[in-house]
Chains A and B, each alone.
Chain A
C-alpha cells in the first residue's frame, strides 16, 4: 500500500471528523439505535487490517493474532450489517397487516 505523508493523513482525519459530525447531526433521534449499529458495522472496516495482517503473516504468532482479529472483525461486519437491516426493516409508515406480526 502507498505510504502517505503523516500531515496528509492527519488532514484526511480532521476532514473526516467534520464530515462525520455534519452528516450524523442530521440523523433524527428516532434512528439513533440503527445509527449506532450502522456505525458498528462501519468500524468493522478493521477487517481490512485483519486481512492485511493475516494475509501477510509468516510466523505462528502473527497467524494466531491475525486469525483472531479476522474472526472478530468478520463477526463485527456481518452482525452489524444484518442487525441494522433488520431494525430498519421495522420502521414503517403504517402498520402492516397483522399476519406477519412477530412477538
Chain B
C-alpha cells in the first residue's frame, strides 16, 4: 500500500518520462522497438502504482476485467493482418474513448456536490470520449467493409449534425451551471454518440487517414480530460501527448491531400466533383497497353527503377511478390527504390508497414519530398495500384478537384509503367492524365498476377 502522495506522484512521473522517451525513440526505426518496451515498462509502473493506492478494492472484478480485456487485446494484436491495421487502430481509439466516457459517468454518479470545474472535466471527458467511441466504431465498420466505404449522405446532414452537437453542448453547459441530475449526463452521452456516428458516416474511404488521426486525437484529449476529473497528472500528460500526436497527423494528412480539415469532415468528397476532369482528356490521345515481356526487358536493362506502390497493391496482396521482383532486379545491378506518398494506404504510414512486412528493408523506402527530385534520373517508374497520387493534373490543371495536392513526380521519369486492373478512375473519381502521357504504358490485370508474370519474364530475360 502506497499512502504517501509524493511517492505516488513520483512513480507516475516515471511513467510520464517513459512515455516521452518511447515517443522520442520513434524518430528512428533503429531504436523504435526499444522505445516501445520503455513505454510498456512505464505503463506497468502506472498500473502497479494505481493498484497499490489506498482504498482500492474489488480485486476480483479488477482481475477478471483485466484478464478479459488482456486476452481480447492480445488475440486481436497477434492475429490482425497488416492491411487491417487501420481498423485495429480505429477500434483501439474507440475502446480508449469509451473507457474515458465510462469513467466520467461513474464519477458523475458518485460525486455528491460536484464543483463547476470538476463538472466541466466530467462533461468534456464524457462528450469527447463518446464521440470518439461512436465515430471509431463507424470508421471500423467502414474500413472492415461492414458499411459502404462510400460517403453516406442525406440532405441537411451538416445542419442536423451541428444541431445534435449544439444540443449536447447545451446539456453540458446546463450541467456545469448546476443541473446535477443523473439524466443530464446520460442524455449528453446519447447525443454525443449520435454525433459520433453522424459525423463519420458521410466521410469516404479515401479520407479515412484523416478521420483515424482525428479520432486518435479525440481519444487522447478525452483521456486528458479524465485526468482533470481524477486529478491525475499522468492522465493529463499522457492524454495530451496522444492529443498532440493525433492533431499533428491530422494536419499532415489533410496537407498531403491538399484539403482543409473542414472540407474532409463536411465535404463528402467524391459526391459533387465526379466527372469534372473528364472533358479535358478527350483530345485524341489514347492509353497504350503493353505486355509483361516488354516490361521485363525495360526493367532488366534499367539502371534505376522507382516502384510507386498504392493501396491497390495491398488489396491484391502483391507486396511480397513486388519485393521478390525488386530482389531479382537488384541482383542484376538495378537500383530499386520505393516512393511512398504520405496518403498511400488507409492510414498515415500504412504503406511502409505493408512493405516492411514483406521484408523490404526500410532503407529502400523514400518519402515523397526526398524522392521527387530523383524521378528525373530514373529510367522506369513502376506504378502499382496507385492513382491519384501520381496524377500530374494536381500540378497543372486548376480545374481538377485534386489541384494543389502534393504528388509523386512520376511523369518526370524516362518511362512509366502503370499496373492497373482496368481504366476505372481512382478514389477521387477523376481521370489520370499520366495514363495518356506518351512515355506511359499500361499493363492491365490483377496486380499480383501481373507481378508474377513479370517475375518469370524477368528471369528468362
Contact = CB atoms under 8 A, between A and B. Distances in A.
Contact of B102 (A16, A66, A82): A66
Interface string B213-244: 10010011011101111111111111111111
A4 B231 CA distance: 7
B363 interface: yes
A45 B85 contact: no
Contacts of A84: 36
B32 A88 contact: yes
Interface stretch (B16-24, B386-394, B395-403, B408-416): B16-24
Interface in B344-398: 347-350, 352-353, 356-357, 359-363, 365, 367
Contact of A67 (B65, B88, B224, B236): B65
Interface stretch (B54-62, B144-152, B162-170): B54-62
B184 interface: no
Interface string B236-270: 11111111111111001000000000000000000
Nearest to A61: B109
B334 interface: no
Nearest to B219: A43
A48 B47 contact: yes
Interface string A36-75: 1111111111111111111111000111011111111111
Interface string B311-336: 00000000010010001000000000
A29 B342 contact: yes
Nearest to A48: B50
B39 A42 contact: yes
A76 B117 CA distance: 28
A31 B362 CA distance: 10
B73 interface: yes
Interface residues of B, number: 117
Chain A interface residue bracket vs B? 35 or more
B43 A56 contact: no
Given A36-B347, A48-B47, A67-B61, A31 B73 contact: no
B88 A79 contact: yes
B77 A68 contact: no
Contacts of A98: 359
Contacts of A85: 33, 36-37, 40
B190 interface: no
Contact of B235 (A45, A71, A82, A91): A45
A68 B104 CA distance: 13
B70 interface: yes
A72 B96 contact: yes
Nearest to B320: A103
A61 to B, nearest CB: 6
Interface string B58-82: 1001101110111011101110101
B32 A71 contact: no
Contacts of B69: 70-78
B365 A32 contact: no
A46 B348 contact: no
Contacts of A35: 23, 26, 245, 249, 348-349
Contacts of A6: 117, 228
Q: Which one of B65, B100, B353 has the highest number of Cβ atoms from chain A below 10 Å of its Cβ?
A: B65
Contact of A24 (B51, B244, B327): B244
A65 B185 CA distance: 14
Contacts of B230: 1, 48-49, 52
Q: Which one of B29, B239, B242, B357 has the highest number of Cβ atoms from chain A below 10 Å of its Cβ?
A: B242
In the complex, the 3 A-B pairs of residues with the closest C-beta atoms, listed nearest first: A20-B244, A74-B69, A32-B349
Given A12-B233, A49-B223, A82-B74, 18 more contacts: A9-B228, A16-B236, A33-B350, A34-B26, A35-B245, A36-B89, A36-B216, A38-B23, A40-B242, A42-B39, A43-B242, A45-B43, A52-B50, A65-B106, A72-B99, A82-B77, A85-B37, A91-B356
8 contacts: A29-B348, A36-B89, A36-B249, A40-B219, A45-B239, A74-B69, A77-B73, A90-B357
Interface of A: 1-4, 6, 9, 12-13, 16-17, 19-21, 23-57, 61-63, 65-96, 98, 101-103
